[in-house]
Amino acid sequence: MEKTQEQEVEKQAITKTLELAVEIFRSCNSEYRILGSMLIAAHAGKVFRHIGDLDVLLDEKSRDCVFEKLRNEGFIIKEKRKIGFRWVEAAREEYLGFTFLLVGKFSERSFHWRFLRVCELRIKSDYLTPTQYSFGGVSFIGIPMSSVISGIRQSFLNPKRKIDKEVLREEIGKTEVKAYGNIQVYIFGIKIPFLYDTFSFFYNIYGGMRVLFGRKYEIWD
């Protein structure tokens, strides 16, 4: 199959997955954010590299509703864990997968996600400001492009991010971003300054080393 044909097939799969996702989120009255390269594809208006799944941030109140509707649509739901990190994946043939990276609570000031019982991740609300995107005629909610660029800067050794950066070259040149301090870790309710940013820095190095040895950058990929 030629590259243009492959891109068209992938575009169709992305579009019908987005249509289903938006309909499920609407019917479950979900607050959500789609993250990752899907936002860059929508911003650029094209499929610039393979997109295997939709990365999603989801409010916990609609979790059961969303997962039940995905099961009814033929998706297989699996909970995954690795080194203390947990997430949920949903898969069905001819659709993109869903990767629910974080299922937590949206509040006025931040998004809260609990892990390891006594720990909590809090993402500032302005980092997650609901931002409208459209792809293949389907409108959906993501995060600001400045937040996408911030994520690219923090994981610059990820080969995928290098491609993303090339696509967003013009946008990166004119967008001011706050690369650090957007995500905080709390332990027993006490903020541990720069813990997340320190972890991201060292994980970027670790992920880069994985790539050098022929493995994928993300442990969850």
Q: What is the mean pLDDT of each run of 10 residues along the chain (221 residues)?
A: 71 94 98 95 89 94 97 95 84 94 95 91 96 96 95 88 88 84 95 93 92 85 59
| Helix 63-72 × helix 3-27 angle, to 10° | 130
- Look at the chain and report how many structural domains it folds into: 1
Judge whether 200 lies within some domain.
Answer: yes
* Rounded CA separation 92/81 (Å): 20
- pTM of the prediction? 0.90
The answer as to whether 110 is a domain residue is yes
Q: Rounded to an integer, what distance in angstroms lies between the CA atom of residue 83 and that of residue 128?
A: 26
191 in a structural domain: yes
Q: Which domain holds residue 166?
A: 3-212
The residue assigned the tokens 């541990």 is 192
Sign of CA dihedral 73, 77, 46, 13: negative
CATH number at residue 65: 3.30.460.40
